[in-house]
Amino acid sequence: MPQIPAHIPSRIRRTLGRALFALSVAGPWLAAPAAAETPSLNLYSARHYPGDEALYAAFTRATGIAVRRVDSDDAGIVARLRAERAASPADVVLLVDAARMAAADAQGLFLPIRSAKLEAAIPAHLRAAPTPQGTTWFGFSTRARVIVYDPLRVKAEDVATYEQLADPKLKGLLCTRSGSHPYNLSLFATVIERLGDDKGQAWLNGLVANMARPPKGGDTDQIRAVASGECGLALTNSYYLARLVASDKPEDRRVVERVRVVFPNQATTGTHVNIAGAAVARHSKNAEAAVRFLEFLATPEAQQYFANGNNEYPAVPGVKLDNPALRALGGTDFKAETIPLATVAKNLTKVQQMLDHAGYR
């Protein structure tokens, strides 16, 4: 420690001495550079699939950016974002249905972004409509809304289209989950977009008239109900059936053996597909990393994680699908509908009112 000259008064010398001692102790710490923090982003996710952990780890390996995840269902994530507002730590929001993505977008929860990579990779009908500020959300995997049926009670040609589900010849055979569930709402909105309101309302009335029982349960419950004979046919997302196909459980194998699957509307408009989608959170503090994450989700590597982790279909055209369960359903060799999901999502409130009018629970 430096010496203080003797001619300086003792009172001042004592004060300077204490100050110099403090500096001599603190000096090494003050001079040391601060340890660099590991870059990270905060993800609010409604996906809860084991394969997603490997997906996030792959992103971290590729970029050095850690992913801190908060899990909830779609409604919980939207409620949290609304409550947190500008104080939200969320950087990326990942939801599992176009209807839910559109509803959150309508509440101003997403940040419009511009990304040439995403616009080149994700087909226009699987993302939000662009605005002058950018695009708010993108779909990164798809799931087909298929029809399963009992071949002992129903002919494949009688369930070749969604429109046929309202045919009186199927009276007492149809099972679905709640009409208000987003999976059904998105499908119904798409069909009504094509048919128009009057024919669409008649179609919904026909579905209700053909019910084997009031809507209940989830998609897997509908498949099991067909296998048990409670129903003759049902609507389900493709990955629920693929899970049963991939299962080693004897009871699941028996279900698969009892049912058949149709990808509807192959000769006309194509099978309805929905998405798992992601967006940059409106108040992201790390939007650059968030965009990098979304761009990574569109890479062939990430698209394979979606396909193999939850039996979904790649959203990016041309990605080779290597999933035995999906191959058993026909692989990717089916015609998918291309009505923009963003357009369909605008009609959800109207469709819900039409469901209420039809008495569709």
Could you list the residues known to form a binding site for Fe cation, using ranges: 48, 239-240
* Nearest partner of 217 among 227, 225, 207, judged by Cα: 225
CA triple 309-307-76, angle to 5 deg: 60
Beta strands 313-314; 138-149: pairing state: antiparallel
d(CA 203, CA 197): 10
Ordered DSSP codes for 85-144: GGG----EEEES-HHHHHHHHHTT-B--B--HHHHHHS-GGGBPPPBTTBB--EEEEEEE
Beta strands 273-280; 174-175: pairing state: unpaired
Q: Which residues sit in the known binding site?
A: 48, 239-240
* SS3 label, residue 314: strand
Instruction: Provide Rg for the chain, Cα atoms.
Output: 28
d(CA 110, CA 197): 30
Reading phi first (left if > 0) and then psi (alpha if -120 to 50, else beta), residue 242 is in alpha
Ordered DSSP codes for 167-234: -GGGTTTEE-S-TTSHHHHHHHHHHHHHH-HHHHHHHHHHHHHTBSS---S-HHHHHHHHHHTS-SEE
